[in-house]
Amino acid sequence: MEVSARLKAIPPYVFAEIDKKRQAAVARGVDVINLGIGDPDQPTPPHIVEAMHKAIDNPVNHHYPPFGGTKEFKTAASAWVKKRFGVDVDPDTEVTTLIGSKEGLHNTIMAYIDKGDINIIPDPAYPVYRTSTLLAGGEPYFMPLTPANHFIPDLDAIPDAVLKKAKLLMLNYPGNPTGAHCDLAFMQKAVDFCKKHGILLVHDLAYSEMTYDGYVAPSILQVPGAKDIAIELHSLSKSYNMTGWRIGFAIGNAEAIKNIAKIKSNVDTDIFKAIQMAGVAAFEGPTDHIEHCNALYKERRDLAVERLNQLGWKVEPIKSTFYMWIPVPTGMSSADFAGLMLDKAGIVVPPGTAYGPHGEGFVRMSLCVDKKRLAEAFDRMAQHSIRFDMAKAKV
């Protein structure tokens, strides 16, 4: 049977394809070190798991949840936002639950993008920004993120012709895949820019608590008047080691939140109530695990910086996320280098082109394996002479 044009318009999901290659290598007997996907290797904190156990045992939680989230979850999320960022959001009108921020990003795009509309997105960026725009019939416009601009887009370089057709502008700081961060001054500029052009600003803040060396990630809603034009998507996946639980929330402009909730009410039936109760426990419980995990990621980051520099790279420590955005050796494409890492050293890294055209020349390295295993990956690179200054012809 013939599939839809929208399905033909999108590439296979990058991490699904990477996992196929990983599984094929494992089937060949390769001891694969997977530095490909951003999935925390530490367990969900016990108090969250315990809250889930308790909620499952209560029959009242076995029925359909309310659309848009339970009152308990939205109230707890609002209180967390107030405590963390000093921002007031109304749990009734300015918050909606998400089955993880990936789903929220997709449904935001579906709520606003039609055929012929433009979504202004960073490049490189999380692949969903682009693929969901294509699924909606829209056109992605790529804002280049490069080392030269510190992975911060030049909003003033966006052509007027693009701005006339643009409905959304998406940002992601701390950023995937680059590990970049920004300050409130840039967020102020982005808010002013979107107000001027009548564009909904969508900030993906999935990595808000994953920061180092004194950097604290801001919320776009800390900018005065941001709720006039902006929403922000949050996830419990990374901060609370809950990637498999699929829970997050969106906050901000009440009209936009209502529109996202309307899309969602027609395509999903929200989050299992027991998981929402676990989310409440996450917001209200101890946060020492965040410091513990950040210390682990910082330790791994420092090891990666040291070992990569020994192998000829010039790498600076990231201040956020658990991703290293690594340039590939001269004369090689991103796909060439990713293939070499798997075939020669049994290491999985995604090619930068998976995240957009300006990802060419880079690979992303995740720090979601323990320090011993990460050190082994660099040992393998050294053993197989995989260095930044190597020539492709010598490999």
Backbone angles phi, psi at 43, to 5 degrees: -75, 160
Banded model confidence at residue 393, pLDDT cuts 50, 70, 90: very low
Backbone angles phi, psi at 146, to 5 degrees: -135, 160
Report the alpha-carbon distance of residue 200 to residue 212 in Å, rounded.
30
Report the alpha-carbon distance of residue 75 to residue 280 in Å, rounded.
9
Report the alpha-carbon distance of residue 108 to residue 232 in Å, rounded.
11
Report the alpha-carbon distance of residue 108 to residue 259 in Å, rounded.
8
Give the helix/strand (H/E) hosting 252.
Answer: strand 248-252
The domain ranges of the chain are 5-43+288-394, 46-284
Pair 242, 213: CB distance under 8 Å:
no
Structure tokens that stand for 391 in this block: 């020539």
Residue-level pLDDT at 190: 98
Averaged pLDDT of the chain: 95
Residue-level pLDDT at 19: 80
Q: What is the mean pLDDT of residues 234-242?
A: 98
Banded model confidence at residue 21, pLDDT cuts 50, 70, 90: confident
Report the alpha-carbon distance of residue 94 to residue 127 in Å, rounded.
26
- Which superfamily does 5-43+288-394 belong to? Aspartate Aminotransferase, domain 1 (3.90.1150.10)
| Three-state helix/strand/coil letters over 154-169 | CHHHCCHHHHHHEEEE
Q: Is the pLDDT of residue 394 over 70?
A: no
Residues 6+ apart with CB under 8 A from 316: 305
H-type helices in the chain, by residue range?
A: 5-9, 14-27, 46-56, 71-85, 101-112, 128-135, 160-165, 184-197, 254-267, 273-284, 288-310, 334-345, 371-383
pLDDT in tens, 171-215: 999 999 999 999 999 999 999 999 999 999 999 999 999 999 999
CATH of the domain spanning 46-284, picked from 3.40.640.10, 3.40.710.10, 1.20.120.1460, 1.10.3720.10: 3.40.640.10
User: Residue 313, exposed/middle/buried by CB under 10 A (0-12, 13-18, 19+)?
Assistant: middle
Pair 242, 48: CB distance under 8 Å:
yes
pLDDT in tens, 47-98: 999 999 999 999 999 999 999 999 999 999 999 999 999 999 999 999 999 9
Widest Cα–Cα separation across the chain: 65
Banded model confidence at residue 29, pLDDT cuts 50, 70, 90: confident
b vs e for 66-79, b when ≥16 Cβ sit within 10 Å of the residue's Cβ?
eebbbebbbbbbbe
DSSP labels, 2-47: PPPHHHHHSPPPHHHHHHHHHHHHHHTT---EE-SS---SSPPPHH
- Between residues 200 and 20, the one the model is more confident about: 200
Q: What is the pTM of this model?
A: 0.95
Report the alpha-carbon distance of residue 191 to residue 383 in Å, rounded.
49
Q: Is the pLDDT of residue 302 over 60?
A: yes
Pair 239, 297: CB distance under 8 Å:
no
- Between residues 23 and 364, the one the model is more confident about: 364
In Å, how far from its chain's centre is CA 322? Answer: 11
Quick one: angle between helices 254-267 and 101-112, nearest 10? 100
